[in-house]
Amino acid sequence: MNVLCKYAVIRFMPFSETEEFANIGVLVYAPKSGTFEFRLAKTRFARVTKFFDDLDGEMYKNSIHHIKFELERIKRISLNFSSDGKMVLFNEVIRKRESIVRFGKTGTLLAESSEAALNQLFDRFIGRKFVTREYREAQMVKTLRQTFDEKLSLKYKELELRADYYPVKLPLVAQTGKLVRAIKPMSFGQTKPLALLEHGEIWINRVNRLLKSGALSHEQMLFVIESPTFETIELKKAFLEVKSEMDALNVEILSFNEKNKILNFASQDLTPESVENGFH
């Protein structure tokens, strides 16, 4: 039988002026059993340090230790409260405050247990299990296309190029006559080395076919990549192997964060008029 759980996502917001935050944990309260559960991200969390790259990492680490201490204290004192009192306590804990660690809006979830709800919510909001490699690459394509439209007024769109008899569909292509610019965003967020290798090799082989056939020249192709977080040495080795094979193609390779360089590549030798008129 499922139980109803109330929850709030725990947020790390070091700069109140910008209101930017990162999800770092979840607090769950099951009214029927009266239990409080919480789960926090690790004290070393690459997503936070990359997002707040101008922040002293000790601030995040100390914040995790502090909120952990406070929530453990809340769990202990909640044992002395009635059901109504526990609900009041939950609402007081998640009340909006001007602090580095804050709570998001209250949500509800039906789950087999409060622990199951906690794990499900943590995977969604912190582990981001819904973010597959395909989803992330689609987001990268969308972001780049919007950037080109806004900054360059260039029309990049999905287009199929042919390597002799072999068609290759690329998500971002601008073409006028024989002049082409092709961009393939690549997300390496896989958790298994083999999956990372296979994803890289598929696109290395496709681009290699395009280069050999003359459908693209080396200077017309760009890989925009997001590196993995290197949770294991095996993942790091797999990524470095793929990166080495990409380098061997002698095409442009840029990080997704290198926005200005990507813009320079996208606009090189192309004018808004020639690009828009050149698609077919």
Mean pLDDT of 59-70: 92
pLDDT score recorded for residue 112: 87
Whether residue 255 has pLDDT greater than 50: yes
Radius of gyration of the chain (CA): 24
89 token code pair: 């306590």
Higher pLDDT, 272 or 71: 71
In the DSSP assignment, the letter for residue 94 is T
Tens of pLDDT, residues 34-49: 999 999 988 877 667 6
Is it the case that residue 271 has pLDDT exceeding 70?
no
CA end-to-end distance (rounded Å), the chain = 58
Q: Where are the domains of the chain?
A: 3-125, 133-278
Q: 107 near 31, Cβ under 8 Å?
A: no
Average pLDDT score over residue span 242-263: 94
> Predicted confidence band at 128 (pLDDT cuts at 50, 70, 90)?
low
Q: Residue 277: pLDDT above 50?
A: no
pLDDT tens digits along 10-23: 999 888 777 788 88
User: Exposed, middle or buried: residue 68 (CB in 10 Å: 0-12, 13-18, 19+)?
Assistant: middle
Residue 9, sorted as left (phi over 0), alpha (psi -120 to 50) or beta, turns out to be beta
Which pLDDT does position 50 carry in this prediction?
66
Output the CATH code of domain 133-278. Answer: 3.40.1350
| Sign of the dihedral through C-alpha 190, 193, 198, 203 | positive
